[in-house]
Every structure is written in C-alpha cells, then in structure tokens.
Amino acid sequence: MNSFTLSGSAGSPPRLALAAVGLAGLRVRQAAAELGLACLAAITPDEPAEALVARALSAGCTALHPGEADTRRQLALARACRAAGLPFVGPRLALIEAMQDGAAVRTLLREAGVPLAEAGAPGRRVELAVLGDRLGRVRWLAVREALGPGLVRAPVAWLTPEQRTYLGQLALQGLAALELRGLVTLGFALQENRLGFCDMRPGLCGREAMDEALTGLDPVVVQLRLAAGDRLRDRQAALAPRGHALQWRLVPAAATGISGGPGLRLDRAPETGGEGRLTAWGRTPEEALRRGRRGLEELLGVEEAAALMRPLGVD
C-alpha cells in the first residue's frame, strides 16, 4: 500500500480527497484538520471510482478517503487508486477483496487459528474495531453490541471480562497474520458459549465516537496517521475501556441541539435532514443511561426519548 505524507510544501498543506458527504464526511474533515490536512470534500460519493480518482489527482490530492462506504464501494475505490498510483486510506487491496468475498476472509482467519462462527446458527453478535500499523502492531478497541436499529452499547454486559479479552486476543492473532494496516471492524457471535468469527468490514463504521469516549483515542485520526505510515503509539493496556457508552443514530437529526454537559456528544451532519449520532458516556451503566435520556429528551421530547430508551429495558 502506498503511503502519503502529512507534511506538504511550504504554505501548502497536503490535500485529501474525500469520497463522502454528510456526517461521515464531517468526521473525516475534522480529523484531517487536526492533522493539518486540507480536504477536497466536493466529490460526489456515488461518482464512478475511476472518474473520482482522476478528479482527485487533477486537484493535486495526495490520498483518497472513502468515508464510511460499504465494502463493495471501498473495493472499487481501492482498485481505481491502485491503478492510478493514488494512496488509498484503507486496508491493503488484497484484504479488502477477501472481505468482499466473505468466504475468503473466513478462510484466512481460520488459517490464522481463529475459530469461526457456525453459519446460520443462532447466536448473539458483537463487534470490535481493530487497528494495525506497518510494523505489524495490532490494537483492539471496545467490544460493542447493537441493541436494535441505530442503538449500540459498549462494553457488552453479558460477556465476562475474560471473554472480552479473549475476543481481543483473537482479533490480534488473526489480523497480525493478515498484515493489517489501517482500521477494520470484526464481527463475532457467541453460540452455545463458544465465540466465533463472522465477518470483517473495512474502514469507518460510524461508531468511532464511542471508542473515543471509552479509550480517549480517536480512530479516525489514527486511521489517517496509519495510512501515512505512522506507527501505533498506545499500548494495548492503555486502550482498556473506561466506563460505559451508548450511541443512538437519529435520522433525520433533530433540529435542536443539546445543552451539553459531561458525557454527552452530538455529531450532526451539516446538511439539512442529515443524520445525527448522540453518544452518552458514564462511569457506570446507570450514569450513561441517565445522560443519554437527558440528551434524547432535550433533542426529541420525553415521549420519543422513552421509545428510544425501551430497547435498554427502561422507559
């Protein structure tokens, strides 16, 4: 995978082509600004990959970021970038191809010694984000679960600390063997008290604010650093989740804001009618719930907030 530089010429920061709009585009632009990168963000996400890459090159961009595109779209963009010699912010092309295949990535993980979930069998699903650098270092972040459409919780209450650590060790084992460089999300299932690998997705997934709240590390910033050839700077022990987090996806985003306060974060697309994501953090599950309820009530009112809290077993 080609790298790009985080330092441009005098008075001219390096430019990042961004194949995303909405909230995904906003998050990448924020991370790029933190690193001193300029963004060419006027690219239409569904533009043909080859045309998009050609326009990025003509604008003087030094890399392309796919935003939160699905695996198929990222594969098309990565192939177009490879053909044009433009660095792609994502895992290496062969790994994205395996993820798109599905069966291929399961074979790779099995060969690395990672147990597989039984296809079609019932089970409880969890996932975690994993980062890898050019030196072969791999780090895993908080294990999370989806409680319904648009609601995610971390850490997973019904997994023991030993099971969560075991999941992280499986992720390290599998992705070190696959030479991961960048960011992916691994899905696992618990079937009859046995944890097994289900699938893998490249890049951002929209849950990065949860990881940032729990670990203090912004995966979007780190993803860009890794694509530029940087190494992972945090030890695994430093990334142990601190506290509890909840995230609601709101479509469309509420027109009002929240008063703020500790443990609440609202990310909202700049476009009218775009999505929003409310992340609540607390030292205990109860504190995260209270803060999340307050944020939802300020945004949506008491009745709608109660409906969104119901999957958590509270009204």
CATH number at residue 171: 3.30.470.20
Q: Residue 63 — very low, low, confident or very high, per pLDDT cuts 50/70/90?
A: very high
Of 89, 114, 130, the last residue of a domain is: 89
Report pLDDT for 238.
97
CA angle 166, 168, 171 (to 5 degrees): 110
State the average pLDDT over residues 61-65: 95
The kind and range of the H/E element at 222 are helix 219-227
How many folded domains does the chain comprise?
A: 2
Residues 142 and 221 in one domain: yes
Other C-beta atoms within 10 Å of 38: how many?
17
In order, the DSSP letters of 135-188 are TS-EEEEEEEEEEETTEEEES-TTS-HHHHHHHHHHHHHHHHHTT--EEEEEEE
CA angle 26, 28, 31 (to 5 degrees): 110
Other C-beta atoms within 10 Å of 246: how many?
27
Residues 145 and 290 in one domain: yes
pLDDT tens-digit readout, 258-291:
887 899 999 998 776 788 999 999 999 999 999 9
Of 41, 70, 89, the last residue of a domain is: 89
pLDDT tens-digit readout, 150-192:
999 999 999 999 999 999 999 999 999 999 999 999 999 999 8
Residues 243 and 303 in one domain: yes
Cα–Cα distance, 67 to 256 (Å, whole number): 26
Residues 50 and 156 in one domain: no
What percent of the chain has a predicted confidence (pLDDT) above 70?
95
Domain of residue 24, CATH code = 3.40.50.20
The angle that helices 93-101 and 71-84 make with each other, rounded to 10 degrees, is 150
Looking at the domain assignment, is residue 231 inside a domain? yes
Other C-beta atoms within 10 Å of 156: how many?
20
Of 89, 106, 134, the last residue of a domain is: 89
Residues 59 and 179 in one domain: no
Report pLDDT for 276.
92
State how far Cα 278 lies from the chain centre. 15
Report whether 38 contacts 63 (CB < 8 A).
no
Domain span at residue 266 reads 122-312
Mean pLDDT score across all residues of the chain: 92
Looking at the domain assignment, is residue 115 inside a domain? no
Residues 192 and 66 in one domain: no
State the average pLDDT over residues 233-243: 96
Cα–Cα distance, 127 to 106 (Å, whole number): 15
Rounded to two decimals, the pTM is: 0.94
Looking at the domain assignment, is residue 6 inside a domain? no
